[in-house]
Amino acid sequence: MDLKDDKPRHEHNTLNFPEGFLWGAATSAFQTEGNARDSDWWHWEQIFQPPEKRSGRAADFYHHYPQDFKIARKLSHSAHRLSLEWSRIEPRNGEFNQAQIEHYQKMLKSLREKNMQVMLTLHHFSNPEWFAKLGGWTNSKSSFYFERFIKKIVPEIAPLVDFWVTINEPGIYAHSSFVAKQFPPQKKNWWLFIKALWNMSLAHKKAYKFIHSILPQAQVGIANGVVSFDIFHRHSILESLTQILADFFTNHLFYFFAPKKYHDFLGLNYYTNQYISFNGESRLPNLVDITKTKKEVSDLGWEIFPEGIFDIIMDFSDYHLPIYITENGIASTNDDRRVRFLLSYLHEIYHAIQTGAPVKGYFYWSLLDNMELYRGFGPKFGLIEVDFKTQKRTIRPSAYVYKEIIKENGIPHKLLKLLGHGIAVSDVLNELRQQ
């Protein structure tokens, strides 16, 4: 063992991110705008959701977006990810609402005027009700309907968009709609899951080709909902094989249907980690109920596992495409936890970049508290607190911590102290002795 190199390894310099790194937050049209009355979600929630969980006005982002974008820019955000509500633009089959197109043009121009780059999502979970009645994404013509929508809207807004996300979390959408029964139409049928995912991959490929036909230099991708998987027993072959299969079917299946050549970047939505264990009590390994481990979780019961985002990024770096963290956030009514979440996850992203991963931007979920789909208004993700009765906006302290990171384009050591860096053990011991 070479003991000559005994220099201190702990540095106090700012952990710098690459020049031009994009910093921002994300929103979803249906979850924030309110009153999307022609969408499948709106019709579904009138029947299956109690009144307090229905979207209603939501955060009224439809009318408050000038104020919200102004706050985002005040917080130094250099980019914003938002989505279109398809059902507003095409409320009936083949009929387009020009007034709504002009509304979205104004929204995008508002971001442009603030020198913020725009990442636009064309499909974020909700569908027009007419589309849903035709079978939604299980209809063999679904990619045709989506392509028709794309061909209408993209030329209208092309100069106002920097990055195009065709579909948000296609795998999670298909699983939640046709396996877990959490999204409308709440069916459990693995064949419908495959059909929906396949049709969404066709829709993505058609959209990719069309956008590039009119914008050759366009940046087009998806926002992929990803999960890190870990195993309890390192020498268990069954657990290791299950981990490989779970990773492929959860994180990589869409790229099998729509290969790398149809993506200019990889958008990754990362929230949690799951454990796999085989204890001999069942025939196959199972996912572990995280509550039994007593690990730290968010208000939604998702494990706080910063190392997972490092593992995910390094896994996807094998595609050799630019990576954007298109969503990452915590549901918590305790904003101190949000501060620690931001710092710990960005710390791991920094390490991934230093290891060679081409991460180009980070979008916190979410800019605003919003309607978290079937969960309603309980989960609080926002950098900005929203009083849904008065629509009052209140900037949370975590937003100012994020602002400091953005201004520095890195993590200053003074902020890492919030994770325990630089805190002298002797000071803590002295405090304990005095008690």
The per-residue pLDDT for range 199-209, each reduced to its tens digit, is 999 999 999 99
Mean pLDDT of 125-143: 98
pLDDT at 357: 98
Mapped onto helix, strand or coil, the DSSP state of residue 36 is coil
- The CA dihedral of 56, 88, 393, 46, to the nearest 10 degrees, is 10
Backbone conformation region of residue 373, classed left if phi is above 0, alpha if psi is from -120 to 50, else beta: left
Closest CA to 86 of 5, 27, 153: 153
Query: What is the residue-wise DSSP string for 208-268?
Result: HHHHHHH-TT-EEEEEEEEEEEEES-TT-HHHHHHHHHHHIIIIIHHHHHS-GGG-SSEEE
CA 55/CA 273 separation, integer angstroms: 29
Amino acid in the structure at residue 247: D
pLDDT at 280: 65
Q: Is the pLDDT of residue 3 over 60?
A: no
**Chain segment 354-374, per-residue pLDDT in tens:** 999 999 999 999 999 999 999
- Using omega within 30 degrees of 0 as the cis cutoff, is the peptide bond preceding 170 cis? no
- Look at 100-109, 115-124, 130-139, 271-280 and tell me which has the smallest mean pLDDT: 271-280
- The CA dihedral of 14, 17, 18, 24, to the nearest 10 degrees, is -140
- Taking a C-beta distance cutoff of 8 angstroms, is the pair 208, 146 a contact? no
Mean pLDDT of 266-274: 98
pLDDT at 367: 98
Mean pLDDT of 136-149: 98
Mean pLDDT of 168-175: 98
Mean pLDDT of 130-146: 98
CA 219/CA 217 separation, integer angstroms: 7
Closest CA to 209 of 220, 200, 199: 220
Q: Is the pLDDT of residue 330 over 80?
A: yes
Distances 294 to 202, 229, 291, 348 between C-alpha atoms, Å: 42, 17, 5, 23
Cβ-defined contacts of 282-289 (< 8 Å, 24+): 284/238, 284/242, 285/231, 285/236, 285/238, 285/239, 285/242, 288/232
pTM of the predicted structure, to 2 decimals: 0.96
- Taking a C-beta distance cutoff of 8 angstroms, is the pair 168, 83 a contact? yes
Q: Is the pLDDT of residue 167 over 80?
A: yes
Give me the percent of the chain exceeding a pLDDT of 90. 91
Amino acid in the structure at residue 378: G
- Look at 144-148, 231-235, 300-304, 331-335 and tell me which has the smallest mean pLDDT: 231-235
How many other CB atoms are there within 10 angstroms of residue 189's CB atom?
A: 14
pLDDT at 2: 57
Strands 117-121 and 79-83: parallel
Mapped onto helix, strand or coil, the DSSP state of residue 325 is strand
Reported as type and span, the H/E element at residue 345 is helix 335-354
The neighbouring-strand residues paired with 172 are: none
Mean pLDDT of 68-74: 98
- Taking a C-beta distance cutoff of 8 angstroms, is the pair 304, 343 a contact? no
Of 292 and 257, the one with more pLDDT: 257
Mean pLDDT of 123-134: 98
Query: What is the residue-wise DSSP string for 369-430?
Result: ----GGGTT-----SEEEETTTTEEEE-HHHHHHHHHHHHTEE-HHHHGGGTTT--HHHHHH
Reported as type and span, the H/E element at residue 365 is strand 359-365
pLDDT at 4: 59
Q: Name the token pair of 115.
A: 């020198």
pLDDT averaged over the chain?
Answer: 95
pLDDT at 125: 98
CA 386/CA 393 separation, integer angstroms: 5
pLDDT at 282: 76
Residue boundaries of the structural domains of the chain = 32-434
Mean pLDDT of 344-351: 98
Of 6 and 86, the one with more pLDDT: 86
pLDDT at 11: 67
Q: Is the pLDDT of residue 149 over 60?
A: yes
Q: Name the token pair of 376.
A: 């309603």
Fold of 32-434: TIM Barrel (3.20.20)
- Taking a C-beta distance cutoff of 8 angstroms, is the pair 293, 275 a contact? yes
- Look at 124-138, 159-173, 269-283, 371-385 and tell me which has the smallest mean pLDDT: 269-283
Query: What is the residue-wise DSSP string for 93-149?
Result: TTB--HHHHHHHHHHHHHHHHTT-EEEEES--S--BHHHHHTTGGGSTTHHHHHHHH
Q: Is the pLDDT of residue 312 over 60?
A: yes
Amino acid in the structure at residue 235: H
Q: Name the token pair of 423.
A: 């805190």
* 5 band by pLDDT with thresholds 50, 70 and 90: low
pLDDT at 434: 78
- Look at 105-119, 254-268, 309-323, 412-426 and tell me which has the smallest mean pLDDT: 412-426
Closest CA to 398 of 70, 75, 17: 75
* 247 band by pLDDT with thresholds 50, 70 and 90: very high
Q: Is the pLDDT of residue 341 over 70?
A: yes
* 132 band by pLDDT with thresholds 50, 70 and 90: very high
* 95 band by pLDDT with thresholds 50, 70 and 90: very high
pLDDT at 311: 98
* 284 band by pLDDT with thresholds 50, 70 and 90: confident
pLDDT at 137: 98
Q: Is the pLDDT of residue 8 over 70?
A: no
Q: Is the pLDDT of residue 130 over 70?
A: yes
Q: Name the token pair of 198.
A: 């396949």
* 106 band by pLDDT with thresholds 50, 70 and 90: very high
pLDDT at 277: 94
